[in-house]
């Protein structure tokens, strides 16, 4: 699956490296998330995130999109090499979290009671605390993690969709850790747990279906024999 060359496409003036990235762009926009495709980041080294999401209260989330279709795909050697590249970039010194999305909407029911569904994998940054972190930062049996700007990355978890906060259900679609932390990555939504209302689930499914329908109108990019970029309309 990972050896198949991605098809580059153009949608509304944006040049995407794959159809998967383009579909996610449309999906994120439909959810109302404030996003930027392939952001120019001077403080991330050796990794170009596919998206940046700018959430409430200054939250900055980096996004990677891969052709994963199951939870198991996130645990392959290829996936681990992607994770290493991400963490070696030092993102956690400057950004709040990282989300990795696959090519499907749902990876199955969440493990926290079946109140939502899982959409991908996530990490959060955490301020470095010697008493808490040194046992695995310097334990030879654990992965050694760098300290960047007094932060490390923590919480290797999958994420679930949520639209519930303390005492009301909001129309804002958020994502939070499936098990580790129930605070929303994007809006900071929290009520001690997480859940997805019927309206929230319908909003997500509608956004995903709309993104799929819009893919009929993207333009595929191909290289001309004289190495000029040629745009071709196709019906995907």
The average pLDDT across 98-117 equals 89
Residue-averaged pLDDT of the chain? 84
Beta-bridge partners for 64: 100
> Sorting pLDDT into bands at 50, 70 and 90, what band is 233?
very low
Q: Is the pTM of this model over 0.75?
A: yes
Q: How many percent of the chain have pLDDT more than 70?
A: 78
Q: Which of 75-89, 103-117, 153-167, 216-230 has the largest mean confidence?
A: 75-89
> Sorting pLDDT into bands at 50, 70 and 90, what band is 230?
very low
Of 116, 193, 192, the residue nearest 161 (C-alpha): 116
Name the H helices within 56-197.
77-88, 130-137
> Domain residues of the chain, as ranges?
9-233
For residue 69, what pLDDT is reported? 96
For residue 228, what pLDDT is reported? 45
Angle 123-210-116 from CA coordinates, rounded to 5°: 40
The average pLDDT across 28-36 equals 97
> Per-residue pLDDT tens for 47-59?
999 999 999 999 9
For residue 227, what pLDDT is reported? 44
């Amino acid at each position: 699956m990972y050896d198949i060359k991605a098809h580059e496409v153009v949608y509304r003036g944006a040049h995407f490296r794959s159809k998967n990235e383009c579909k996610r762009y449309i999906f994120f926009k439909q959810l109302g998330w404030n996003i930027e495709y392939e952001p120019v980041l001077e403080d991330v080294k050796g990794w170009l995130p596919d998206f940046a999401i700018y959430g409430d209260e200054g939250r900055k989330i980096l996004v990677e999109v891969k052709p994963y279709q199951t939870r198991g795909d996130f645990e392959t050697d290829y996936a681990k090499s992607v994770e290493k590249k991400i963490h070696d970039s030092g993102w956690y010194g400057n950004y709040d979290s990282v989300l990795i999305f696959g090519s499907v909407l749902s990876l199955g029911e969440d493990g926290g009671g079946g109140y939502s569904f899982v959409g991908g994998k996530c990490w959060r940054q955490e301020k470095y605390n010697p008493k808490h972190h040194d046992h695995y930062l310097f334990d030879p049996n654990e992965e050694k993690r760098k300290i960047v700007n007094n932060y490390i990355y923590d919480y290797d978890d999958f994420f679930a969709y949520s639209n519930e906060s303390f005492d009301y259900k909001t129309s804002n679609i958020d994502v939070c850790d499936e098990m580790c932390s129930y605070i929303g990555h994007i809006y900071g939504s929290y009520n001690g747990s997480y859940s997805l209302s019927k309206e929230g689930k319908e909003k997500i499914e509608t956004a995903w279906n709309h993104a799929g329908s819009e893919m009929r109108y993207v333009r595929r990019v191909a290289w001309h024999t004289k190495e000029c970029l040629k745009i071709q309309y196709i019906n995907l």
